[in-house]
Structures are given as C-alpha cells and as structure tokens.
Amino acid sequence: MKTKNSRTEGSRYYPKRYDFDPNSRNAILDEGLVCHVSFLVDNQPFIIPTSYCRVDDTIYLHGSVGSHFFMQMAKGIPVCVAVTHVDGLVLARSVFHHSMNYRSVVTFGKTRLVETEEERWLAAEKFTEHVIPGRWEEARQPNKSELKKTMFIAVEIEEASVKYRAHGVVDDEEDLGMGIWSGVIPLKLAPQQIESDEAGIANVKMPDYVKNYQR
Amino acid sequence: MKTKNSRTEGSRYYPKRYDFDPNSRNAILDEGLVCHVSFLVDNQPFIIPTSYCRVDDTIYLHGSVGSHFFMQMAKGIPVCVAVTHVDGLVLARSVFHHSMNYRSVVTFGKTRLVETEEERWLAAEKFTEHVIPGRWEEARQPNKSELKKTMFIAVEIEEASVKYRAHGVVDDEEDLGMGIWSGVIPLKLAPQQIESDEAGIANVKMPDYVKNYQR
C-alpha cells in the first residue's frame, strides 16, 4: 500500500529507500525500545526520548502525571514520533560513499489522553510485553494507586513513512582497485552480562525470557 | 555548571536524572551515531533521523543538496536535536518500577548553512572520524564535485539538557520477597560479524580500527 502526501513524500533522489507497507512500519516500531516524540511549545520544537508500545495503529506513551511534557500532550496536540534502528556502518573506499544501514519510521498523529481504566490497563500490559515478552504474567501487576500515578497518552498514527538502507558498499568503479579495505560493520543492540538483583534472591531462578533476551 | 531555563529545566520529580555538565553532554553526543532533528513546517512538527558529528559547541548535519529537509534547514530555523543511548532494561518485581537505563541529550539551537569550503572540509573530516576514527586518513577523501553535492548544516548548541538513569532495580520493600526474578539486562550497540566487500580485495587487509571497532 503506497500512500504519499505532503508529510510523508519519498525523496526523488532515493526512492528505493522508502517503503509504505504498514507491515514494515510495524516491524520497526515493534523492535524499538525508545522513540523520539516531537511537538511544539510557543513555536519552539521540542523532543522527548521516551519508551512506547504499539497496538494496531496506535502508539502509546507513558509518563508521570506531573510531567510537564505529558501535561502538554494530554491537551491533544500534533506530534511526530520517530523510531530508528542503526544496523551497520558502510565503509566505502571513498569518504563520499560512506553510509549507514538503518531502518526508521517517522509517524504523524495527534495525542489523546487515555482516560478509561480499561485502556490504561491494556496500555500497561502492552508496554511491559513490548519491552520483554513474558514479563507481564510474572511480575507484580500494577495496583490502582500505581496506575493513577501514570499518565498514558495515545497517538493514533495518521501517516507514517519508513526509510531504510540495507545493502553493502557502493563505490565508484575507478575507486575499487585502490587497495582500501571496504565493507560493512553490522551493529546490533545486544544484551550484555545480566545482573541479578541481590535482594530476596534465594531460590529465584532467572526466567528463560530474560536469559535468552534478544531484541 | 548548572544552567536552567525554560527549555531545559529539570523535572521536579527526578532531579537526580538531570545533569548539566557540558562534558556529560559531549560524551553522549560523541558516542551516538544517529540523532533526531525536530523542526516545524507550517506548524507541524517533523523529525528526521540523521547522522551527525560534534565540534566544540556545534553539531554538524549533512544531506543531499536536493533534500527537502535540508533546504528547510538551510534557511536558518530553530531546531531541537536529540541523541539517546539505551543502556539496559531494569526489570523490577513490580511492573510499576520497571524502567530503562539510558543516557540522552536534548539540544536547542538554530541551523546555519555551512558556506565556506574550509568549514565544509572540516565537517567532512569530523563526520568520518566521528563514525570511525582512523578512516579519514585511509579512505579516498572527497573531491570538489562530491563536496558540492553535500549540504552541511551547523547547529550551534544554545542549550542542552542531559538526562540519564544508570542504576539497578528499585522496588517497594514489600515486593522484595515475592520470589520474582529481578535485575538488569544491560544493552549495547555491538559490532557483529564484519562483512568485507569482495571487489578488488586481493592483498587488502582489514584495518585494526575496523577489526576492533567498538562504540
């Protein structure tokens, strides 16, 4: 499904780097841990990096009920939400053809304060499962007071544009024989040595969804 | 050095998560590969994810001279530039205390088209060295025609705010003994198996700055 318009029009220089398939959009959104949310206050653009999750065409954000930024968003304002994955460094022989492999989604929508308890509960569950599947059922779920302290904001995705680069080195023919090493260093957000919390840990095993965590 | 004002005021809820030391700001900026740049067009906030580098208090961006976004920025407009590192997942016993370890910088400034050949050359070198130190001296450096096709934009950092979380699990006392595994999964953007380009590769060794690449 290719839908183009003023906010999500592809570049005439790199048409191959755009993808308007909602499945591509969802895959990138579902892999990310942090999004960047942009909005205006008094004509000044602001960005907040924050965690999120997606349910169908809705992105959920959450923050403290006292947060200045979230209070702005509770009013219902236009925002742009972007998620980017850096997949690798592309080292060409010429500096000019150096590049990065990446996947990014830029979405546009309007914020809406989540008001019903049902949708807040849904968002809380999806947030947890978005970050680490399996955790919601095992962890101690929120009580009413905790849920009250959290503000959930929904952003209905009105438009989205996906951009990516996912290939090797492209060099000018005449540079190939220069004897300069060239190639791709793939990059991945990878789990490191896991640190168990020491308190009350006797007889508590590390669950498989933690041990085998991969993004 | 603590400087606070309307755009970079710390949260009254999490004062410990703010840091106004320019060295912290620079360390986070210098480690990142991609920034998110936010600006307005007709009252609509836009974000572009793009590569960058820093020289003193200036962030350089670059793009194709034909890029719509870069042509907007060439006019000199207010932008917000953010860089975020996800350092780990903090899995508390309660869903409510789940968190992430991260470091982020949000900067504010105005764009300026880089016009002199000297500053363009400097930016090109710094870009390359920002991504992979050692590469500029080895790769084939840009010629005049390549440099002409690239637009460099400078953003003088007027204000910046650094936020981070860098500690273990915080749980309510009464949840500690629940028998739920709890801890931190550290995350790192880590190099994977390097892929050498096949063309003209005879007798070309992989340089150490590639082999040992770490972000």
Exposed, middle or buried, B127 (CB in 10 Å: 0-12/13-18/19+)? buried
**Which pLDDT belongs to residue B2?**
37
pLDDT at B9: 60
From A33, A181, A205, residue closest to B207, measured CB to CB: A181
Evaluate if residue B19 carries a pLDDT over 90.
no
Hey, are the CB atoms on A49 and B104 less than 8 Å from each other?
A: yes
Query: What integer pLDDT is reported at residue B164 of this predicted model?
Result: 94
If one compares B4 and B212, the residue with the highest pLDDT of the two is B212
Would you place residue A200 in the very low, low, confident or very high pLDDT band (cuts 50, 70, 90)?
low
Across the interface, whether the CB atoms of B178 and A140 are under 8 A apart is answered yes
Q: How far is B187 from chain A (nearest CA, A)?
A: 5
C-alpha R_g of chain B: 21
Q: What pLDDT does residue B21 have?
A: 80
Show me where the domains of chain B are located: 15-211
Averaged pLDDT for residues B161-178:
94
Look at B181 and A84 and tell me if their CB atoms are within 8 Å: no
The pLDDT tens digits of the residues spanning A88-109 come to 999 999 999 999 999 999 999 9
The pLDDT score that the predictor gives to residue B200 is 64
Judged against a pLDDT cut of 50, whether residue A213 lies above it is answered with: yes
Provide ipTM, 2 decimals.
Answer: 0.92
Predicted confidence band of residue A2 (pLDDT cuts 50, 70, 90) = very low
Contacts with B203 from chain A: Cβ below 8 Å: 179
Q: What is the pLDDT of residue B33?
A: 98
Position B1 scores a pLDDT of 33
Set of chain A residues whose Cβ sits within 8 Å of the Cβ of B93: 139-140
The nearest CA of chain B is from the CA of A183 a distance in Å of 4
Q: What is the least distance, in Å, from the CA of A15 to any CA of chain B?
A: 12
d(CA A96, CA B128): 10
Distance from CA of A210 to the nearest CA of B (A): 8
Residue of B nearest to A35 (CA): B84
Query: What pTM does this model have?
Result: 0.92
Q: Is B135 on the interface with A (CB under 8 A)?
A: yes
Q: Report, as an integer, the average pLDDT of B193-204.
A: 82
Q: What mean pLDDT comes out for the span A170-193?
A: 95
- Give residue B43's pLDDT band: very low, low, confident or very high (50, 70, 90): confident
Backbone φ, ψ for residue A25 (5° rounding): -55, -50
Read off the pLDDT of each residue in B11-31 and give the average, rounded to a whole number. 77
From A67-76, A200-209, B76-85, B140-149, the region with the lowest mean pLDDT: A200-209
Whether the pLDDT of residue A65 is over 60: the answer is: yes
**Percent with pLDDT over 90 in chain A:** 80
Which residues on chain B are in Cβ contact (under 8 Å) with A34?
A: 84, 86, 100, 102
User: Looking at per-residue confidence, does B12 or A128 come out higher?
Assistant: A128
For residue B189, what pLDDT is reported? Answer: 96
CB–CB contacts below 8 A, A to B: 303
Q: What is the pLDDT of residue B6?
A: 57
Q: Cα separation of B95 and A140, whole Å?
A: 6
For residue B203, name the pLDDT band (cuts at 50, 70, 90): confident
- Tell me which residues of chain A, numbers 140 to 159, contact chain B at a CB-CB cutoff of 8 Å: 140-143, 146, 149-150
CB contact under 8 A, A191 and B181: no
SS (H, E, C) chain B: CCCCCCCCCCCCCCHHHEECCHHHHHHHHHHCCEEEEEEEECCEEEEEEEEEEEECCEEEEEEECCCHHHHHHHCCCEEEEEEEEEEEEEECCEHHHCEEEEEEEEEEEEEEECCCHHHHHHHHHHHHHHHCCCHHHHCECCCHHHHHHEEEEEEEEEEEEEEEECCCCCCCHHHCCCCCCCEEEEEEEEECCCEECCCCCCCCCCCHHHHCCCC
Q: Using the beta-carbon criterion (under 8 Å), do B13 and A40 form an inter-chain contact?
A: no
Is A52 in CB contact (< 8 Å) with chain B? no
Q: How far is CA A181 from CA A98, B60, B193, in A?
A: 12, 26, 15
Is the pLDDT score of A145 beyond 70? yes
- Distance of alpha carbon B161 from alpha carbon B11, whole angstroms: 11
Evaluate whether the domain defined by B15-211 bears CATH number 3.40.50.20: no
> How far is the C-alpha of B213 from the C-alpha of B135, rounded, in Å?
11
Average of pLDDT values for A181-209? 90
- CB proximity under 8 Å: A 158-187 to B: 168-169, 171, 175-187
pLDDT at residue A161 is higher than 70: yes
Name residues 22-41 of chain B within 8 A of A (Cβ): 33-34, 36, 38-40
Q: How far is B82 from chain A (nearest CA, A)?
A: 7
Q: What is the mean pLDDT of residues B91-114?
A: 97
% residues pLDDT > 70 (chain A): 91
Task: Answer whether A43 sits within 8 Å of B78, measured CB to CB.
Answer: yes
Q: Which of A12, A128, A183 sits opposite B194 (nearest CB)?
A: A183
Average pLDDT, chain A: 91
Mutation to test the B interface, candidates A89, A127, A176, A213, most B Cβ within 10 Å? A89
Cα separation, A56 vs A157, in Å, equals 9
Residue A21 pLDDT: 80
Q: What is the pLDDT of residue B3?
A: 41
Which residues on B lie below 8 Å from A82 (Cβ)?
36, 47-49
Residue B128, chain A, CB below 8 Å: the answer is yes
pLDDT at residue A9 is higher than 50: yes
